[in-house]
Amino acid sequence: MSVPHSRSASVSEVAARLLALHPKRIDLSLGRIERLLAALDHPERRLPPVIHVAGTNGKGSTVAFARAILEAAGKRVHVYTSPNLVRLNERFRLGQTGGGVLVEDAELVDALTACESKNAGAPITVFEMETAAAFVLFSRHPADVALLEVGLGGRLDATNVVERPLASVITRVSIDHREFLGDTIEQIAAEKAGILKPNVPAIVASQAREALAVIERQAARLRAPLSIAGEDWTATEERGRLVYQDGNGLLDLPAPKLYGRHQFENAGAAIAALRASGLKLAASAFEAGMGRVDWPARMQRLSQGRLAALLPPEAELWLDGGHNADGGRAIAAALADLEERVPRPLVLIVGMLSTKDSAGFLKNFSGLARRVIAVPIHQDKAMPSAALADIARDVGIPAFARDDLESALEAAGNLDLEPAPRILITGSLYLAGEVLAANGTPPQ
């Protein structure tokens, strides 16, 4: 098959071509990417030292904390994450002295078309092509560390071709993506534990007992040294600060810039991974990292932008991409803490995919949210907003539907609530991307 190579092609044009190479968006396997990487002369073997992160919730935030700490230490850090919120380029951050930058369009097109050419029309998923492109990009640019976030699962995820990372991290495991990973917490944990490697340190966030047992068995088989939250390390809030402790001592740090008590543990997982990886980092880097960390659509306050301007000036607008029951629990806890400090009536604007446990997500906000306003998401498997409003009412939250974000925000601002409401847009990372694009505040 001939592949069009045009340096003037846009990122979206190349991505559209890649979609045609496989009938499914998701088809977990390592065979296709291993074939492509061999044709590319194994760029995954020419990466900087890797920290590999899997989990259901918190893996992106954990990567963000690790990046912030490493950059505060003066390290050049490549970062591969997914999904993107507004632009595909967000998945590929190239490490530079003084801080990384998102890959430019021309270089991303070049890497994607190089992978497309070597693939020669064979079946392969878009995520596998993007992962191969990340390895090509990262192999071309020297850096000190590469942070790789698993896309889905772990065992058969395209990122799981790195043979010996510095450390493997498993953040909180919960039920999500059942159609690909299994119906039980044990099955899902087994897929996540598939990233563990022989004799490579493994950092594990706090887990349900059943999930931890699966991870411990896999680590024992591989002789991977485990460092488990609550047993080998702790990260707790004390007097408004993050206190981290492990066998190497204690760090007394500022509270993480990312809001919510769950971010204390995500920060702890990042610190544990960096300390286990053998990188010699000054305490000042960990301290600075807590203040410079940035991860859009995770309890992000939108104080400026086109959508924010639609609300009364005294109202608050927040955004979070949480979309499963465990994520909802973390968001609700963060909002409850915020309510205790600065009381305001809470209104949720929610859009979700039909593949998600909407009732399990929304019931976390029963007794906390005054209203749910359901909106559509522009995705194939989006749940109709009227049906989502019905589910919200079923779990005890008054709800109604609107056709778009603008009318939902207008309705939220016009509710007879005193003081002005705290509005959270949530339920999907796809929706979060639409919000950031419409607000004119895309990730940088």
For residue range 7-34, list pLDDT tens digits in order.
Answer: 468 998 998 898 888 877 667 789 999 9
Q: Are both 246 and 307 inside the same structural domain?
A: no
Q: What tokens does 320 get? A: 């979070």
What pLDDT is recorded for position 5? 47
Check pLDDT > 80 for residue 180: no
What pLDDT is recorded for position 176? 61
Find the mean pLDDT for residues 332-350.
95
pLDDT in tens, 396-421: 999 999 999 999 999 999 998 999 99
Q: Are both 280 and 372 inside the same structural domain?
A: no
Query: Is 309 domain-assigned?
Result: yes
Q: Are 205 and 172 in contact (CB under 8 A)?
A: yes
DSSP H/E element including 145: strand 145-149
Domains in the chain: how many in total? 2
Q: Which of 241, 265, 292 lies at the terminal end of a domain, its last residue?
A: 292
Check pLDDT > 50 for residue 1: no
Q: Are 371 and 397 in contact (CB under 8 A)?
A: yes
Q: Which of 250, 268, 292 lies at the terminal end of a domain, its last residue?
A: 292
Residues forming a β-bridge with 226: 202
Q: How far is CA 136 from CA 77, 249, 250, in A?
A: 15, 38, 39
Find the mean pLDDT for residues 161-178.
87
Check pLDDT > 50 for residue 252: yes
pLDDT in tens, 72-128: 999 999 999 999 999 999 999 999 988 999 999 999 999 999 999 999 999 999 999
What pLDDT is recorded for position 15? 87
Q: Are both 384 and 267 inside the same structural domain?
A: no
Query: Is 414 domain-assigned?
Result: yes
What pLDDT is recorded for position 140? 97
Q: Are both 168 and 226 inside the same structural domain?
A: yes
What pLDDT is recorded for position 178? 56
Q: Are both 39 and 137 inside the same structural domain?
A: yes
Check pLDDT > 50 for residue 4: no
pLDDT in tens, 44-61: 999 999 999 999 899 999
In angstroms, the CA 128 to CA 112 distance is 11
Find the mean pLDDT for residues 356-364.
95
**Structural domain span for residue 341:** 300-439
Q: Are both 204 and 316 inside the same structural domain?
A: no
Look at 4-8, 366-370, 431-435 and tell me which has the smallest mean pLDDT: 4-8
CATH number of 200's domain = 3.40.1190.10
Find the mean pLDDT for residues 366-388.
95
Query: Is 6 domain-assigned?
Result: no
What pLDDT is recorded for position 7? 46
Q: Are both 304 and 288 inside the same structural domain?
A: no
Q: Are both 275 and 334 inside the same structural domain?
A: no
Check pLDDT > 90 for residue 2: no
Q: Are both 326 and 249 inside the same structural domain?
A: no
Find the mean pLDDT for residues 148-171.
95
What pLDDT is recorded for position 98? 86
Q: What tokens does 389 get? A: 């409003």
Find the mean pLDDT for residues 230-238.
97
What pLDDT is recorded for position 8? 60
In angstroms, the CA 19 to CA 14 distance is 9
Residues forming a β-bridge with 127: none
